[in-house]
Amino acid sequence: MTRAAILLLCTLIGCVPASAQTPRTKLVLDTDIGTDIDDAWALGYALKSPSFDLLGVTIADGDTAQRARLACKLLARLGRTGIPVAVGRPTPAVPADRIDYQFAWAEDFRDYAPVATPAVEFLADVIRRHPHEITLVAVGPLQNVGDLVRLHPDVVPLVKRVVLMSGSVGANYYGPSAVAEWNVRLAIPEAQAVYAAAWPLTIVPLDSTSYVRLEDGERENLRKAGTPLVVALEALLRLWTDRPSSRMTLHDQLALAEAQEPGRFFGRCEPMPLAVSDAGFTRVDKERGRPVTVCLEPKRNDFMAHFLAQLGAR
């Protein structure tokens, strides 16, 4: 009997675990964790997903050292200090008077530190070590990914897939027209480089993410799980909440869901020729735009059931 036949037989009778049947997606998560709350919850999702092999976390935008400390503490709480955290270059805080209260959760944490390698060099190295295997998910401003394109153009064709929480092409929860989306307009030259690069690029824009929010009942049901991850995420959510009406919008988690199961949680994922304008808009431009897959019409309830089940699993 061939090895393939043996594996098939074992699968049918239950002697092969599910994790052995489907290779896990090699993932690197680029995040600006610490300002909005969805980044921390997205990192938790990446850590709990049985189909992700998280090879590293890179930190972008603003006070990157503070953000990295927060990511390191969350990894340590889950016993995942084998996952490296690499710090990107710091940038001016925008707006300058914004207070990121989540930083307080990790301000005295020193038990696990980021690697010495800068984020852009870490990205280049991990992609070269795993050619055509890495899915790069970026859920913040694109300083690190833009620097990668600029400084290491040779790795661009070695990336399996890039998925961004980024952009705005039409109507969204906040209004009837496209806007200059936050992650684009905070690093416009870098976003222009990332959108123009010759790699398989998918975006999950405001057109989708702005409609998906965590309801109180869902939060309460998850809180009852009481796992170390859930306790940590609830603490960070309480630090982020500035008024009783505050609700988390699951921008970044939807990008990870698309990386995990392409197309499953959207009614449409279609190619559009997109280019980033000098004002930070992601425009459909048939002459200058490169083809970008745009995920639209989120299947909110299907996604939330999937997301919360993974996050609350023991």
* Per-residue pLDDT at 245: 86
Handedness of CA 301, 307, 310, 312 (dihedral sign): negative
* Per-residue pLDDT at 96: 60
Contact 21, 253 (CB under 8 A): no
123-151 per-position pLDDT tens digit: 999 999 999 999 999 999 999 999 999 99
The CATH architecture that domain 24-312 belongs to is: Alpha-Beta Complex (3.90)
For 91-95, 156-160, 232-236, which range has the lowest pLDDT when averaged over its residues?
Answer: 91-95
DSSP 23: P
Find all residues with CB under 8 Å of 40, minimum gap 6, and list them. 33, 34, 70, 74, 102, 232, 233, 236
Select from 30, 314, 267, 274 the least CA-distant residue to 145.
30
Q: Where are the domains of the chain?
A: 24-312
41 confidence band (pLDDT: 50, 70, 90): very high
Q: State the alpha helices, DSSP H only, in the chain.
A: 3-13, 18-21, 38-48, 64-77, 119-129, 143-151, 182-185, 188-196, 206-209, 216-223, 228-240, 251-260, 300-312
6 confidence band (pLDDT: 50, 70, 90): very low
* Per-residue pLDDT at 4: 44
Kindly report whether the global pTM for this prediction surpasses the value 0.75.
Answer: yes
243-286 per-position pLDDT tens digit: 888 999 999 999 999 999 999 999 999 999 999 999 999 999 99
* Per-residue pLDDT at 97: 58
- What are the φ/ψ torsions at residue 107 (nearest 5 degrees)? -65, -30
How many Cα atoms sit within 13 Å of 170 on the Cβ side?
Answer: 9
Select from 134, 194, 135 the least CA-distant residue to 167.
194
* Per-residue pLDDT at 9: 47
Contact 75, 83 (CB under 8 A): yes
Say which amino acid occupies 9. Answer: L
For 67-81, 85-99, 291-305, which range has the lowest pLDDT when averaged over its residues?
Answer: 85-99
- Give every strand in the sheet of 201-204, ordered side by side: 85-87, 52-59, 25-31, 134-138, 161-165, 201-204, 290-298, 266-276, 282-284
Rounded Cα–Cα distance for residues 314 and 299 (Å):
25
Q: Does residue 10 register a pLDDT over 90?
A: no
Q: Is the peptide bond before 200 cis (omega within 30 degrees of 0)?
A: no
Q: Does residue 229 register a pLDDT over 90?
A: yes
User: CA angle, 180 as apex, 195 and 259 as ends, to 5°?
Assistant: 45
177-195 per-position pLDDT tens digit: 999 999 999 999 999 999 9
